Each structure stands twice: as structure tokens, then as C-alpha cells.
Amino acid sequence: MTSPFPPDDLDRRLVIATQAGLPLVPRPYDLLAEQLGTSADEVKRRLAAMLETGRIRRIGAVPNHYAIGYTANGMSVWQIDPAVIDAVGERVGGLQSVTHCYRRPDHPPAWPYNLFAMVHGKSRAEVEAEVGRIATLIQAEFPGALGARDILFSTRILKKTGLRLGE
């Protein structure tokens, strides 16, 4: 993991300048360079370096999944034998229907689940069927590894802003 960057660093100013979005102008990196008092080549070099090191996952669009028709958003949660959880996570994370997959701590007895996989679909029934297929797949490929499971559907977005670094 890279250490936090020092304040006033150009990378940090570049994060702050682009966290709301990339400018919608024909030469966006030139505009950023002008705003930051540097050259477009330097802006491009820094962005490429941040992509290379994984500090930027990608430059692109984030669709609102409701707006593009994925109205059912189920957080599937799984109680998986810790001995095989990483292999199960890789398998489930690689499925087309899964957009995020994480190993997280359980909180027994209230919360026995240690693997989380977000499944998006065009209806609740579609998500339930897909989660059923994932369960069958885990049972077939990792016999005895799956305990309890559940799906938590979201019923309302209460807030969605994303992280904002201080200006």
C-alpha cells in the first residue's frame, strides 16, 4: 500500500480537481493543467502513474444502476468455511452477475456471514434465481463449505455522495 501523500502534493491536488468528475471539454487534461498551474503532459503523466499503481482503478463512467434498468440490488451474504473462503471468493467474484465481492468479518451470533457479493438484476426474482445458482455452484465445487446465506435487498437510497477529500 502506498503511504498517504503529503499535503500540497500535485497528486492530491489532481484528486481534488477531478473527484467531482473529468471536465467535459475537448482537451480536459489541458484544462486541468491550467487550473493546477502545471503542464498537460505532467497531468497525463501523473494520471497514468496513478492508474499504473492502482491508486486510480480506471477513468470512466459510473452508471446509476437503477437508471440503466438494474432495479433489483441484492447484497448476498454467505457463511463460508474460512479454510476455503478465498477460493470461494475468487470464484464468486468472477461471475458476470457479481459487481463487488469481499471477505468481511462475521459478528456471531447476530451475523454469521463472512462473504459479501453484490448481485444486480432487472427484478428481485432474477436476483433470487441468480443467488440460488451461486449457492448450487458453491455446494458443487466446495462441498460442505457453505453454511447459512441470505439476500439483503435495498429498499431505499438514503444518501449517495462518495468520498470527498477536503479542499
Partner 1 sequence: MSARPAPAALDELDRRIINALQGGFPISDEPYREVAESLGTTEAELLARLERLLAAKVLTRFGPMFQIERLGGRFVLAAQAVPEDRFAEVTELVNALPEVAHNYRREHRLNMWFVLATETPDGIADATRRIEAATGLPVFAFPKLREFFVDMRLKA
- Touching partner 1, residues 60-79 (CB under 8 A): 60-71, 75
Interface residue with partner 1, options 35, 36, 99, 112 (CB under 8 A): 99
d(CA 74, CA 122): 11
d(CA 74, CA 133): 14
- Kindly state the smallest distance separating residue 48's Cβ from partner 1, in Å: 5
Rg of the chain on CA atoms, in Å? 20
d(CA 112, CA 138): 17
Q: Confirm if 95 and 118 have CB atoms less than 8 A apart.
A: no
| 167 belongs to the binding site for partner 1 (CB under 8 A) | no
User: What is the size of the binding site for partner 1 (CB under 8 A)?
Assistant: 80
| 125 belongs to the binding site for partner 1 (CB under 8 A) | no
Closer CB to partner 1, 95 or 135, in the complex: 95
